Structure 1
Amino acid sequence: MTAPAYIDTYYSRTLATPETYPAATGRIEADVCIVGGGLAGLTAALKLARSGRKVVLLEAQRIGWGASGRNGGFVSAGYATGFSSIARRVGEDRAKALFRLSMEGVEIVRRAIQELGITDAGLVPGIAKALRYDSRDALQASCESQQRNFGLKLRYLSRDEVRSLFVSPKYHEAILDEDAFHFHPLNYGRALAREAARLGAAIHENSAVISADLDTPHKIVRTKDAEVRAGHVVFATGGYTGAVLPALRRAFLPIATYVLLTEQAPELVQSAIRTRAAILDDRRAGDYYRLVDGGSRILWGGRITTRTTDPRDIAALLRREMVATYPQLADLKVEAAWSGLMAYARHLMPQIGQWKPGVWYCTAFGGHGMNTTAIGGTVIAEGIAGESDRYRLFEPFGLLWNGGILGRVAAQLTYWSYQAADAAREFRSR
């Protein structure tokens, strides 16, 4: 059977290699069955394969087909919610341990790129978090605090420095994280799959899970044409999670985000953005963007909605945001635009842990960047292999009910309130 196609994105247009994987068929025995071929599942599969476990990975579409293969490509420390919010929930010491795990996640991705020689991941150092208002020394104090507490390689950028790099009247100051980077997540994920397969993991695309028996020592996971029997099952799905594990489906909100790719116009692009570092707009309802193809195009992402169908014109929505930030880009055309569903938990932390003996979950990575997929897959693999119980650090952020339809309404209203608050703060800084 032909593997389903990737949707049209910058990443699918620039795939490094053409390989596909067969659908699962027949009766299969494994130590671990991983459901989901995104970056978290692939990280776990590779680590478990390296430890000698017999691994079967089932992906409903293609490797990296969901949010893992069509996101902004940002890899930096931290979570979607701030350190102070985490500390209020779990205490200062545990919050620091969690932040250090996120820093480790950045290094896991960087190390894999280096060790596996994934040149087509196109790693580019630097992510700047830019403010559209004057923080009155608060941003610089935050920068110094993170340097002191975690040893992060951060550099504060004043208004003049910011506007020399991002030629826009919107920005006032920024922090440049020189340890962070951006990259091609789909080529990265496919390279993880190749290495896991080389080590003996069975990778199967076009193999949606339709049912599972999870209450016995050896779990049974079924696709249309296969039955996998394994001691452990890992659910590493995201915004496209089905109903096989209802507790997981009820514990996240599918949130859509949108991305565009501009035409190739190096001189026009350079008139606006004069750095290879990626830019993360620090508004709570902000944009994220970076240069690709050697600085000749812009990949621009932003906006979130709780609707699971695409708006009529994604490109027009995002282009308005881009031109409002950089008026000099008014003539820059859009070549492609796409969307994807991310999984968000109500507590805005990733959901990583053990649901019952032998049944693991590793999801809700929306808004965190790629570091959490790496650390999530790693600590779950460590738990299965008996190497550590670091996954327990995430126990306070378990499978909290998403609120159903009211949860979606609340999430959308919250986003709109963030937009209003951001606009008011920007107005006061004019």
Structure 2
Amino acid sequence: MSSSYIDNYYSRTLATDEIYPVAEGKIRVDICIVGGGLAGLTAALHLARSGRSVALVEAHRVAWGASGRNGGFVSAGYATGLSRIERSVGPHQARELFHLSMEGVEIIRRKILDLGITEAQPSPGIVKAVRYNSRGALKVNHDKQAHAFGLKLRYVPKDEMAALFASSKYHEGIFDEDAFHFHPLNYARGLARAATGHGARIFENSTVVAVDIEGARKYIRTPRSEIEAEQVLFTTGGYTGEVMPALRKAYLPIATYVLLTEAAPDLVRGAIRTSAAILDDRRAGDYYRLVDNGSRILWGGRITTRTSDPRNIATLLRREMVGTYPQLSTLKVDIAWSGLMSYARHLMPQIGQFKPGVWYCTAFGGHGMNTTAIGGTVVAEGMARESDRYRLFAPFGLAWNGGIFGKAAAQLTYWSYQAADAMREARTF
């Protein structure tokens, strides 16, 4: 039986639903891509355009995992901060990496326009909302970043925050005018159409069960096919299985949760008075935006290392929403869902060559939209011998995730963030 998308806002609002075949028989190509999320689709399109024969195999549907279930936020940066990147690689390489993240935003913006993916519904602006008084530090830090990288960042004082968001929680914010939010599943499916239009072959419901990647020719096997390729690229994210143990042991699967409210235009717009998306600046914060012409809220937040869904996803998230906007206490939840992200312990994407002809491009948790775009692009450039920009990510390799101790540490870290956030906010009042 073929798998389908889990029930969520994006699967309910698909513009089109092309079905790609199951991989069958012997298939010979230049490049095989394992994983049909945004990174894999971006790479497939780039490689097909460059004249390579490409087969992409996906265990479920195109963008079935986190690529098609996330908040839809597209902005520059990584899951870790610029200062931490500088400590790892120095200021010069850190600047190059940040510029790549900015390029990732523009890649998505440009592809939506050039490929005519209007169903991605891009909407401009993301506000980083702060729940404490930074006493001028927020404005100073972001003015420096805007000057250093040419970002269009605008400081939002408390009175303007109150005009945009009818919540007593927010003290100030930063409006990122270069950022935008969109429908990631429709975008991913637009990439898939473009890739097949350039000759790439996409196979859905084709789980990879074994690989032989030791020789000059690589063999990727699914239940009903054997794919022979010169090169193979793994872009499997939080759903990586055991066929690539080195990759599976190098990231932590982290679950995040999202809800969609019922349609209540007057109630919703009375609380959130902007079409810009909102990113709560807490280290253990929330993110949300209006959808369906401002009649509903798509609210995401909370992370956990458990890979099974708790029964009360909607209750947990709704508590956060009503805690921020008490006037939404009567607003009901329509549906809630989760998705698995992949995080490396260093909180940077893992992009590179494992051995000759074997590549990886994963660990995009926390900032996946722009980083999947640039990741898929630079790894494709490397595979096509067009550039070696992927080497900028070499210092952030396949470090061991720590196993069960790593998962425990990640969960404890998240809880400590929640406690620190609460203490910082308490000092403000």
TM-score category (smaller protein): over 0.9
Equivalent position of 1:308 in the other structure? 307
Equivalent position of 2:214 in the other structure? 215
Equivalent position of 2:266 in the other structure? 267
Equivalent position of 2:83 in the other structure? 84
Q: Does structure 2 retain, via aligned residues, the 8 Å contact 1:64–1:190?
A: yes
SS at match of 1:309: coil
Q: Give the Å deviation of 1:198.
A: 1.1
Q: Does structure 2 retain, via aligned residues, the 8 Å contact 1:34–1:236?
A: yes
Equivalent position of 1:373 in the other structure? 372
* Whole-angstrom distance in 1 between the partners of 2:422 and 2:59: 40
Q: Which runs of 4+ in 1 moved over 3 A?
A: none
* Whole-angstrom distance in 1 between the partners of 2:2 and 2:401: 33
Equivalent position of 1:324 in the other structure? 323
Please show how residues 156-235 of structure 1 align to structure 2 within 5 Å.
156-235=155-234
Identity of aligned residues (%): 72
1:409 maps to a residue whose letter is A
Instruction: Normalising by structure 1, report the TM-score.
Output: 0.99
* Whole-angstrom distance in 2 between the partners of 1:126 and 1:259: 20
Consecutive unaligned residues in structure 2, runs of 5 or more: none
Q: Does structure 2 retain, via aligned residues, the 8 Å contact 1:258–1:340?
A: yes
1:423 maps to a residue whose letter is A
Equivalent position of 1:65 in the other structure? 64
* Whole-angstrom distance in 2 between the partners of 1:394 and 1:238: 16
Equivalent position of 1:20 in the other structure? 19
1:408 maps to a residue whose letter is K
SS at match of 2:395: helix
Equivalent position of 1:146 in the other structure? 145
Equivalent position of 1:134 in the other structure? 133
* Whole-angstrom distance in 2 between the partners of 1:142 and 1:175: 11
SS at match of 1:396: coil
* Whole-angstrom distance in 1 between the partners of 2:388 and 2:347: 22
Q: Deviations over 1:375-423 (max 9, x none)?
A: 0000000001111000000000000000000000000000000000000
Instruction: Normalising by structure 2, report the TM-score.
Output: 0.99
The answer on 1:56 being equivalent to 2:55 is yes
Q: Deviations over 1:179-200 (max 9, x none)?
A: 0000000000001001111111
Q: Does structure 2 retain, via aligned residues, the 8 Å contact 1:73–1:369?
A: no
* Whole-angstrom distance in 1 between the partners of 2:64 and 2:368: 17
Q: Does structure 2 retain, via aligned residues, the 8 Å contact 1:76–1:369?
A: no
Equivalent position of 2:74 in the other structure? 75
Q: Give the Å deviation of 1:3.
A: 3.3
Q: Give the Å deviation of 1:345.
A: 0.4
* Whole-angstrom distance in 1 between the partners of 2:352 and 2:272: 41
* Whole-angstrom distance in 1 between the partners of 2:353 and 2:183: 30
* Whole-angstrom distance in 2 between the partners of 1:238 and 1:314: 22
* Whole-angstrom distance in 1 between the partners of 2:74 and 2:232: 27
* Whole-angstrom distance in 1 between the partners of 2:177 and 2:147: 15
SS at match of 2:368: coil
Please show how residues 94-109 of structure 1 align to structure 2 within 5 Å.
94-109=93-108
Equivalent position of 1:125 in the other structure? 124
Q: Give the Å deviation of 1:136.
A: 1.0
SS at match of 1:117: coil
* Whole-angstrom distance in 2 between the partners of 1:3 and 1:309: 21
Q: Give the Å deviation of 1:346.
A: 0.3
Equivalent position of 2:278 in the other structure? 279
Q: Deviations over 1:243-286 (max 9, x none)?
A: 11100000000000000000000100011100000000000000
SS at match of 2:322: helix
1:96 maps to a residue whose letter is R
Q: Deviations over 1:321-380 (max 9, x none)?
A: 000000010010100000011000000001011111110000000001300000000000
Equivalent position of 1:347 in the other structure? 346
* Whole-angstrom distance in 2 between the partners of 1:287 and 1:301: 6
Equivalent position of 2:381 in the other structure? 382
1:191 maps to a residue whose letter is G
1:25 maps to a residue whose letter is E
Equivalent position of 1:38 in the other structure? 37
SS at match of 1:68: helix
SS at match of 2:76: coil
The answer on 1:336 being equivalent to 2:335 is yes
Consecutive unaligned residues in structure 1, runs of 5 or more: none
* Whole-angstrom distance in 2 between the partners of 1:296 and 1:19: 28
* Whole-angstrom distance in 1 between the partners of 2:141 and 2:109: 25
SS at match of 2:237: coil
* Whole-angstrom distance in 2 between the partners of 1:295 and 1:153: 25
Equivalent position of 1:395 in the other structure? 394
How many residues are aligned here? 429
* Whole-angstrom distance in 2 between the partners of 1:370 and 1:364: 12
* Whole-angstrom distance in 2 between the partners of 1:412 and 1:313: 18
* Whole-angstrom distance in 2 between the partners of 1:236 and 1:105: 17
Q: Deviations over 1:38-84 (max 9, x none)?
A: 00000000000100100000000000000000000000000010000
SS at match of 1:289: strand
SS at match of 1:93: helix
Q: Does structure 2 retain, via aligned residues, the 8 Å contact 1:262–1:336?
A: yes
* Whole-angstrom distance in 2 between the partners of 1:179 and 1:41: 25
Q: Deviations over 1:91-140 (max 9, x none)?
A: 00000000000000000000000001111101000001111001111110
Q: Does structure 2 retain, via aligned residues, the 8 Å contact 1:238–1:365?
A: yes
Q: Give the Å deviation of 1:142.
A: 1.4
2:211 maps to a residue whose letter is A
SS at match of 2:31: strand
The answer on 1:248 being equivalent to 2:214 is no
Q: Give the Å deviation of 1:215.
A: 1.0
SS at match of 1:84: helix
SS at match of 1:203: strand
SS at match of 1:271: helix
